[in-house]
């Protein structure tokens, strides 16, 4: 094999390693964020609210752990391939490869969690509200303020909104996962504020009437 062919083969191996590493990093990010993104997909596709899928949030630490495991495996694979195709092992080169994969994976996860998920959640929230608007429209309702603890992402808020809207007599529901505050409009002739505690929210969420002494 001449030098030109050798260099061509080396370049092809580097490109393969890079694409594999990138794919592993993105797969890891997707696995870590699946509990937030997954439940929104059926809503966005118009397949229903899929309220039960929001229970995936309770396994969030496991999904994050799976993502880290995938990053570790992708790093091992990339370093192994790198040491095989290159002239000699280089600790600095290996560390750089691992750091690049982890930074890419973690960066992609943060992008999903704090940019993509909120954007998708906003669209899903609007679709859920529109689906219930005609059936539960109330000309003049009572707004009930609630405090909800245990939410970890914007997707959680959509799940809680869906649960409230399933209660007959509820017209609208708006939940802010960052503050934990919710505003639910009810038909006071059909239900009372206490009936909102019957909403089928996930066990990790706690719902209580909003206390004015709480911080805004």
Tracing tokens 């679709």 back to the chain, one arrives at 127
Considering the domain architecture, whether residues 43 and 104 belong to the same structural domain is answered as yes
pLDDT band for 5, please (50, 70, 90 cuts): low
Considering the domain architecture, whether residues 17 and 64 belong to the same structural domain is answered as yes
Does residue 153 register a pLDDT over 80? yes
pLDDT value for 132: 78
Contact 172, 194 (CB under 8 A): no
Higher-scoring residue by pLDDT: 89, 152: 152
Taking residues 133-162, report their average pLDDT: 83
Q: What secondary structure, in 3-state letters, does the chain show?
A: CCHHHHHHHHHHHHHHHHHHHHHHHHHHHHHHHHHHHCCHHHHHCCCCCCHHHHHHHHHHHHHHHHHHHHHHHHHHHHHHHHHHHCCCCCHHHHHHHHHHHHHHHHHHHHHHHHHHHHHHHHHHHHHHHHHHHCCCCCCCCEEEEEEEECCCCHHHHHHHHHHHHCCCCEEEEEEECCCCEEEEEECCCCCCHHHHHHCCCCCCCEEEECCCCCCC
**CATH number (domain holding residue 200):** 3.30.70.100
Considering the domain architecture, whether residues 35 and 53 belong to the same structural domain is answered as yes
Taking residues 80-108, report their average pLDDT: 84
Percent of the chain with pLDDT over 70: 81
Looking at 102, 125, 148, the residue that finishes a domain is 125
Cβ-count burial 42-51 (b if 16+ within 10 Å, e if not): ebeeeeebbb
What are 172-202's pLDDT values in tens digits? 999 999 999 999 999 888 899 999 998 888 8
pLDDT value for 82: 77
Picking from 39-48, 65-74, 98-107, 120-129, which range would have the lowest pLDDT averaged per residue? 39-48
Domain containing 42 equals 3-125
Looking at 62, 91, 125, the residue that finishes a domain is 125
Does residue 13 register a pLDDT over 50? no
pLDDT value for 81: 80
pLDDT band for 138, please (50, 70, 90 cuts): low
Considering the domain architecture, whether residues 141 and 194 belong to the same structural domain is answered as yes
pLDDT band for 51, please (50, 70, 90 cuts): low
Cα angle: 62, vertex 64, 69; to 5 degrees: 90
Contact 58, 175 (CB under 8 A): no
**Count of domains forming the chain:** 2
């Amino acid at each position: 094999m001449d030098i030109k062919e050798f260099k061509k083969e080396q370049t092809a191996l580097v490109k393969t390693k890079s694409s594999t590493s990138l794919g592993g990093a993105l797969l890891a990010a997707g696995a870590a964020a699946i509990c937030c993104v997954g439940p929104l997909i059926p809503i966005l596709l118009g397949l229903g609210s899929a309220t039960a899928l929001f229970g995936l949030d309770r396994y969030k630490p496991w999904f994050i752990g799976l993502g880290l495991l995938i990053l570790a495996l992708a790093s091992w694979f990339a370093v192994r391939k790198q040491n095989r195709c290159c002239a000699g092992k280089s600790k600095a080169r290996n560390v750089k490869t691992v750091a690049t994969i982890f930074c890419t994976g973690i960066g992609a996860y943060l992008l999903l969690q704090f940019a993509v998920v909120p954007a998708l959640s906003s669209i899903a929230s609007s679709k859920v509200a529109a689906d219930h608007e005609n059936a539960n429209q109330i000309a003049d309702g009572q707004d009930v303020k609630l405090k909800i603890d245990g939410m970890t992402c914007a997707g959680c808020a959509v799940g809680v909104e869906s649960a409230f809207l399933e209660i007959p007599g509820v017209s609208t529901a708006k939940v802010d996962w960052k503050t934990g505050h919710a505003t639910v409009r009810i038909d006071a002739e059909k239900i009372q504020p206490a009936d909102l505690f019957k909403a089928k929210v996930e066990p990790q969420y706690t719902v209580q009437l909003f206390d004015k002494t709480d911080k805004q």
